[in-house]
């Protein structure tokens, strides 16, 4: 119903503009001579569609009305109205736009706008900033409609024990009263989530205690806010599960998980893992980024693109833990940490390298990540969802790196300008 209302309103707006234009130009054509489409509908046909929930539709037909998927199905099931022309996507694969469930983006208006545009060019429809937004500008920008840019969500300022020498943006708390007050302060800023860090940073600091994180989780839940936890150690991950944590923003990094942890996960099937794998520590092909950045930026990247043995060991632990939890049926989302606009494509490759099936990784980066960040209007190619999708030249189910072979990106039905800005 709201879609019909919007369409009607747009039609009236167009008529108004046309009448005004005719009056200004002295044109003799009356507005009634102009034939307007009743609704802004675009049809697409011929692609393989990865729905985002694990289903695949070969030779699909779908339509987009006012930025929302209207009909989606195989060419046998969905009829194109006679006389309409559809966008021909034969030979292409279409997948939902990606959601990045763990980033830390710029906090000034211009820089954040640029961060979100560059993500849109890479097929990313939304990103959740986890705890580094001390300023109000990023929170305000969540509600602004920016065509050709990813949507933005924020956990505001995260909460941790004092970490002198590190960023002072998060709340530093040492008592239960301070911990609860920090949650109330962030709730008053209308943040999307609460973020906590539970990490002694290699023995440098006292880490957030079970008493404090339990209070934070309890206070957050009283404000209907879910809690994302940065973790390092298995012991803390278990404590957090018992205390009601909602999402892990990293996997367990200090050791291989054990049977007790898997059992705790099975008791909390709603808990989501954003594995956020570290680099694999092996040189990778970066040539696909040549059209997305300056030659200088790419050269800097290439310089760090070398074999690193210590990184390989860290990756090994987290990769084994991810493979085990995925096999155990835990819901896996996708996040990249930091501010690297193209990182989701590498993270998806790393998740496959860890042992997940490409099909499962696509679901993680789309449907599951949308769920993790609380967006129920995107993440799958289904009737009623926002038309956020990527047209690929090759099938990522055959090789996950094919998510980089982007032909076009559409956000809310609008074609994203990828000509480089
Ligand atoms: Zn982070």
DSSP string, 260-329: HHHHHHHH-TT-EE---PPP-SS----GGGTTTS-HHHHHHHHHT-S--HHHHHHHHHHHHHHHHHHHTT
Asked if the model's pLDDT at residue 315 lies above 50, the reply is yes
Q: From ligand 1's centre to the CA of 129, what distance in Å?
A: 8
Q: From ligand 1's centre to the CA of 139, what distance in Å?
A: 17
End-to-end CA distance of the chain: 37
403: tokens are 């998510």
Q: From ligand 1's centre to the CA of 223, what distance in Å?
A: 23
Q: From ligand 1's centre to the CA of 196, what distance in Å?
A: 10
What is the pLDDT, as a whole number, of residue 26? 37
Asked if the model's pLDDT at residue 37 lies above 60, the reply is no
| Percent of the chain residues past pLDDT 70, beyond the cut | 90
Domain identity same for 121 and 208: yes
Domain identity same for 32 and 168: no
Domain identity same for 229 and 109: yes
Place of tokens 């962030």: 186
Domain identity same for 200 and 325: yes
Half-sphere exposure at residue 285, Cβ-oriented, CA atoms within 13 angstroms: 7
Q: What is the mean pLDDT of residues 182-201?
A: 97
Domain identity same for 206 and 330: yes
How far is Cα 88 from Cα 15, in angstroms, rounded to an integer?
30
Asked if the model's pLDDT at residue 34 lies above 50, the reply is no
Domain identity same for 24 and 118: no
Q: From ligand 1's centre to the CA of 263, what distance in Å?
A: 26
What is the pLDDT, as a whole number, of residue 183? 98
Containing structural domain, residue 10: 1-38
Q: From ligand 1's centre to the CA of 215, what distance in Å?
A: 21
Q: From ligand 1's centre to the CA of 189, what distance in Å?
A: 20
Comparing 15-29, 58-72, 177-191, 194-208, the range with the smallest average pLDDT is 15-29
Asked if the model's pLDDT at residue 4 lies above 60, the reply is no
Domain identity same for 252 and 150: yes
Of residues 32 and 306, the one with the higher pLDDT is 306
Domain identity same for 107 and 25: no
**Residue 71 domain-assigned (yes or no):** no
Asked if the model's pLDDT at residue 17 lies above 80, the reply is no
Q: From ligand 1's centre to the CA of 313, what distance in Å?
A: 20
CATH code for the domain of 367: 3.20.20.140
**Residue 145 domain-assigned (yes or no):** yes
Of 48, 76, 18, 24, the C-alpha closest to 381 is: 48
Q: From ligand 1's centre to the CA of 276, what distance in Å?
A: 9
Asked if the model's pLDDT at residue 36 lies above 80, the reply is no
Into how many domains does the chain fold?
2
**Residue 396 domain-assigned (yes or no):** no
Domain identity same for 8 and 117: no
What is the pLDDT, as a whole number, of residue 12? 30
Q: What is the mean pLDDT of residues 32-36?
A: 43
**Residue 410 domain-assigned (yes or no):** no
Asked if the model's pLDDT at residue 242 lies above 90, the reply is yes
Q: From ligand 1's centre to the CA of 235, what distance in Å?
A: 20
pLDDT digits (tens, 9 = 90+) for 361-383: 999 999 999 999 999 999 999 99
Domain identity same for 4 and 114: no
pLDDT digits (tens, 9 = 90+) for 60-116: 999 999 999 999 999 998 888 888 889 999 999 999 999 999 999 999 999 999 999
Q: From ligand 1's centre to the CA of 105, what distance in Å?
A: 10
**Residue 124 domain-assigned (yes or no):** yes
Q: Is residue 360 packed enough to be buried (19+ CB in 10 Å), middle (13-18) or exposed (0-12)?
A: middle
**Residue 68 domain-assigned (yes or no):** no
- Average pLDDT over the chain reads 90
How far is Cα 188 from Cα 181, in angstroms, rounded to an integer?
10
**Residue 130 domain-assigned (yes or no):** yes
How far is Cα 114 from Cα 139, in angstroms, rounded to an integer?
16
Place of tokens 């989530």: 193
Is the Cα dihedral 249, 326, 404, 350 positive or negative? positive
Domain identity same for 318 and 170: yes
**Residue 266 domain-assigned (yes or no):** yes
What is the pLDDT, as a whole number, of residue 148? 95
What is the pLDDT, as a whole number, of residue 39? 58
* H, E, C per residue of 343-385: HHHHHHHHHHHCCCCHHHHHHHHHHHHHHHCCCCCCCCCCCCC
Give CA angle at 218 (212, 221), nearest 5°: 140
Q: From ligand 1's centre to the CA of 232, what distance in Å?
A: 12
Domain identity same for 177 and 284: yes
């Amino acid at each position: 119903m709201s879609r019909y209302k919007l369409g009607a309103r747009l039609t009236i707006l167009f008529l108004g503009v046309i009448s005004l234009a005719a009056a200004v130009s002295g044109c003799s054509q009356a507005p009634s001579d102009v034939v307007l489409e009743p609704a802004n509908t675009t049809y697409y046909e011929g692609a393989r569609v990865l729905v985002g929930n694990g289903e695949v539709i070969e030779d699909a037909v779908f339509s987009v009305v006012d930025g929302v998927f209207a009909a989606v199905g195989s060419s046998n099931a969905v009829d194109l109205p006679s006389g309409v022309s559809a966008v021909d996507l034969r030979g292409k694969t279409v997948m939902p736009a990606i959601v990045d469930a763990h980033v830390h983006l710029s906090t000034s208006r211009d820089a954040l706008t640029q961060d979100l545009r560059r993500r849109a060019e890479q097929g990313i429809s939304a990103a959740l900033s986890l705890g580094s937004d001390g300023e109000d500008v990023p929170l305000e920008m969540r509600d602004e409609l920016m065509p050709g840019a990813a949507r933005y969500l924020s956990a505001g300022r995260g909460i941790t024990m004092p970490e002198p020498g590190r960023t002072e943006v998060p709340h530093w708390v040492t008592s239960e009263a301070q911990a609860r007050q920090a949650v109330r302060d962030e709730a008053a800023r209308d943040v999307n989530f609460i973020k906590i860090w539970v990490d002694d940073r290699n023995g440098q600091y006292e880490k957030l205690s079970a008493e404090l994180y339990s209070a934070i989780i309890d206070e957050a839940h009283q404000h209907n806010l879910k809690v994302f936890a940065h973790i390092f150690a298995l012991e803390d991950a278990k404590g957090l599960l018992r205390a009601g944590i909602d999402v892990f923003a990293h996997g367990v990094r200090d050791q291989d998980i054990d049977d007790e942890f898997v059992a705790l996960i099975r008791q909390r099937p709603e808990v989501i893992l954003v594995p956020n794998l570290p680099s694999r520590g092996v040189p990778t092909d970066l040539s696909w980024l040549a059209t997305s950045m300056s030659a200088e930026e790419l050269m800097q990247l290439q310089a760090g693109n070398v074999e690193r043995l210590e990184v390989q060991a860290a990756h090994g632990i987290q990769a084994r833990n991810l493979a085990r939890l995925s096999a155990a049926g835990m819901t896996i989302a996708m996040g990249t940490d930091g501010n690297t606009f193209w990182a989701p494509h590498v993270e998806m490759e790393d998740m496959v390298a860890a042992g997940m099936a490409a099909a499962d990784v696509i679901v993680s980066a789309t449907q599951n990540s949308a769920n993790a960040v609380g967006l129920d209007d995107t993440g799958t190619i289904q009737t009623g969802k926002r038309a956020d999708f990527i047209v690929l030249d090759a099938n990522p189910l055959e090789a996950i790196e094919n998510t980089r072979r982007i032909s076009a990106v559409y956000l809310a039905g609008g074609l994203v300008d990828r000509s480089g800005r």
